[in-house]
Structure 1
Amino acid sequence: MGLLWNLLSLPLAPVRGTVWVGEQVLEEAERQYYDAGAIRRQLEEVAAARESGELGDDEADALEEQLVARLIEANRRSREEGR
């Protein structure tokens, strides 16, 4: 049955390969997006931009809120992976 299945599903191999590549790209993008170290650096950059006057208080507050939410999600994901 295995050989027959492989022969019948051979035309779908490019689709499976494309799906696999897409899944790998998604996993890497999420890993980078939820990297706690990168988020902390971005928080420091926002604080420095606020101090230098490049960002107003409202903009900085909004960015910090988004970054803290990502950091919380990163910590949650880290705990789940540790189980």
Structure 2
Amino acid sequence: MNVGLLTTILTLPYAPVRAVTAIAEILLRQAEEELYSPAGVRRQLEGLDEAVARGELSESERQAAEDEILARLTNR
């Protein structure tokens, strides 16, 4: 019997765990892309401006949130 086939058969019960891990890694990469990509940062900053325009955030709250976004970029 081929060793690779034997290994596959013996580790088959762990396939769901490997699948969940792979999905989690994909989701993590997508979240990091949203947090750190220039387009994602621009959307976040635009969202802050829109929240101020709707009256959901004060200018000082917007500035604090903007500082957090920019700090996240520099501390990466």
- TM-score higher than 0.5: yes
1:5 aligns with 2:7: yes
The structure showing larger relative contact order (alpha-carbon pairs under 8 Å, at least 6 residues apart) is 1
CA deviation string 1:3-52 (max 9, x = no partner): 111111011111111111111111111111212123134335535665x5
Partner of 2:21: 19
Q: Are the counterparts in 1 of residues 36 and 73 from structure 2 also a CA contact under 8 Å? A: yes
Q: Provide the C-alpha distance between the structure 1 equivalents of 2:16 and 2:58, rounded to a whole number of angstroms.
A: 50
2:24 aligned partner, one-letter code: G
The runs of 5 or more residues in structure 1 that have no matched partner are 77-83
* CA gap 1:12/1:46 in 2 versus in 1, 3 angstroms: closer
TM-score normalised by the chain length of structure 1: 0.65
User: In the comparison of the two structures, how many residue pairs are matched?
Assistant: 73
1:16 aligned partner, one-letter code: R
1:32 aligns with 2:34: yes
TM-score normalised by the chain length of structure 2: 0.69
- Compute the RMSD of aligned alpha carbons: 2.4
Partner of 1:80: none
